[in-house]
């Protein structure tokens, strides 16, 4: 379309319209402003002057003077919650809920906020009850409520209800819940640790875990860890049933498929070989595994067993070569520990390092290695001497690498 000069006539008209609209808005705003209480502006002023405490007091006053201002109540409630003032947050949301004239949608919103307050305040029972009321509604709060419930059941170690809630969630949305495998594993672990062990229950839980691994594997949202854990539990189950062949098969599958976890199974695998009278083959197997995938925990097991089977000279020769390839203070520390504990008390520490006071050396090294001899959570940094599938610090799953801190540096 070509430009026609007569179109220019519209320019002043548009200016006039814009000017009118601006005036209209301004008047409207002035009218509204007159109806707002002074405390509102005081609050704003405090906010602008970065005095949030006084701002909150002023806004609380507005909320009191004008109880109709639900938006302000919601804003205050979540502000209190963010600041950790849980009692005040709960009071704001409860006062909203107590109003009989509150529309249904806002009632559900307030209920959801209140449930979150309870959760953050650690009042799990009340949070659970509040979320329960929301999860069956067809509002937009149903899904977040369900997700929060899963977390609550998880922290209560109520695995059956956590699993049930995940199933409900999957009925509503196609959303991966990778920790579902661990819920089943926790169930299986509980059944195996019971006295006497409940083999039937453990098997059912492990089958469900395998199914969950399979489903999650299709979506590729699964890490190695879940499979390692189910194999570990299956090995333990086989051990309880005195089926050492099956136990060995599961343990070796971990070495083959997830060598980074070898340290967690080496000891158990060696015991399995020893039980079958095949300690020599067991050691050879682990040594070959160490050559392919060196790790500190594996080094430890191999060194001890080598010393027991073939004497300290061969063991030290292995250790020297290993430490040359992978220099590690922690490795040296473990080595000296094994050497010292193997020597009868009172005997001079003459071999294998002539002239060296091994116990003094070990004391010195041990002091430095203690902080390195830990597993650490990738997500929150929580450090622990034992390996966890769920971090005790931040409750995240599979955030521990099965390697010591020294190996990660």
Q: Distance between CA 71 and CA 140 in Å, rounded?
A: 18
Give 215 or 380: the residue with its C-beta nearer to Zn ion: 380
Q: What are the two backbone dihedrals, phi and then psi, of residue 375, each rounded to the nearest 5 degrees?
A: -95, 150
Structure tokens at 60: 């609380």
Give 356 or 394: the residue with its C-beta nearer to Zn ion: 394
Q: How far is the CB of 389 from Zn ion (least distance, A)?
A: 12
Could you tell me which residues are beta bridge partners of residue 397?
390
Give 168 or 390: the residue with its C-beta nearer to Zn ion: 390
Whether the CB-CB separation of 76 and 59 falls below 8 Å is answered with: yes
Give 155 or 359: the residue with its C-beta nearer to Zn ion: 155
Q: Distance between CA 96 and CA 83 in Å, rounded?
A: 20
Q: How far is the CB of 39 from Zn ion (least distance, A)?
A: 43
Residues placed in the known binding site for Fe cation: 377, 380, 391, 394
Where is 290: in which H helix or E strand? helix 279-292
Q: What are the two backbone dihedrals, phi and then psi, of residue 78, each rounded to the nearest 5 degrees?
A: -75, -25
Residues placed in the known binding site: 377, 380, 391, 394
Q: How far is the CB of 404 from Zn ion (least distance, A)?
A: 16
**For binding to Zn ion (CB under 5 A), which residues are involved?**
377, 379-380, 382, 391, 393-394
Give 144 or 393: the residue with its C-beta nearer to Zn ion: 393
Q: Tokens 């695998």 sit at which residue?
A: 269
Exposed / middle / buried, residue 352 (Cβ in 10 Å: 0-12, 13-18, 19+): middle
Q: How far is the CB of 154 from Zn ion (least distance, A)?
A: 14
**CB count in 10 Å sphere of residue 158:** 15
Q: Distance between CA 54 and CA 228 in Å, rounded?
A: 55
Q: How far is the CB of 401 from Zn ion (least distance, A)?
A: 12
Whether the CB-CB separation of 365 and 333 falls below 8 Å is answered with: yes
Q: How far is the CB of 400 from Zn ion (least distance, A)?
A: 8
For 281, half-sphere exposure in the C-beta direction (CA atoms, 13 angstrom radius) is 8
Give 310 or 383: the residue with its C-beta nearer to Zn ion: 383
């Amino acid at each position: 379309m070509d430009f026609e000069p007569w179109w220019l006539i519209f320019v002043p008209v548009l200016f006039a319209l814009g000017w009118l609209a601006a005036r209209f808005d301004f008047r409207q705003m002035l009218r509204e402003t007159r109806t707002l209480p002074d405390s509102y502006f005081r609050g704003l002023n405090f906010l602008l002057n970065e005095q949030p405490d006084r701002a909150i007091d002023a806004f609380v006053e507005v909320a009191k003077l004008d109880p109709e201002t639900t938006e302000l109540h919601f804003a205050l409630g979540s502000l209190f919650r963010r600041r950790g003032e849980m009692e005040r947050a709960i009071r704001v949301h409860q006062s909203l809920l107590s109003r009989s004239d509150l529309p249904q949608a806002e009632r559900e919103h307030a209920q959801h906020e209140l449930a979150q307050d309870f959760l953050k305040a650690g009042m799990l029972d009340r949070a659970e009850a509040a979320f329960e009321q929301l999860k069956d509604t067809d509002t937009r709060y149903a899904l977040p409520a369900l997700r929060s419930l899963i977390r609550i059941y998880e922290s209560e170690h109520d695995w059956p209800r956590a699993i049930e809630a995940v199933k409900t969630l999957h009925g509503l949305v196609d959303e991966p819940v990778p920790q579902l495998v661990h819920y089943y594993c926790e169930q299986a672990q509980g059944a195996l640790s019971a006295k006497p062990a409940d083999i039937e229950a453990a098997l059912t839980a492990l089958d469900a875990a395998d199914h969950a691994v399979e489903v999650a594997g299709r979506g590729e949202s699964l890490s190695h860890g879940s499979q390692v854990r189910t194999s570990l539990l299956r090995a333990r189950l086989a051990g309880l049933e005195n089926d050492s062949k099956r136990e060995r098969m599961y343990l070796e599958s971990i070495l083959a498929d997830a060598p980074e976890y070898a340290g967690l199974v080496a000891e158990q695998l060696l015991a399995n070989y020893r039980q079958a009278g095949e300690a020599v083959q067991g050691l050879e197997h682990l040594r070959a595994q160490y050559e392919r995938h060196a790790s500190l925990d594996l080094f430890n097991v191999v060194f001890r067993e080598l010393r027991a089977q073939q004497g300290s000279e061969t063991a030290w020769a292995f250790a020297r070569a290993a430490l040359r390839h992978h220099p590690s203070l922690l490795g040296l520390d473990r080595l000296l520990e094994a050497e010292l504990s193997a020597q009868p008390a009172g005997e001079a520490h003459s071999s294998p390092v002539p002239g060296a006071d091994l116990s003094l050396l070990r004391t010195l090294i041990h002091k430095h290695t203690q902080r390195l001899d830990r597993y650490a959570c990738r997500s929150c940094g929580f450090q622990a001497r034992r390996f966890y599938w769920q971090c005790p610090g931040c409750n995240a799953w599979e955030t521990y690498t099965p390697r010591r801190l020294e190996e990660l540096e």
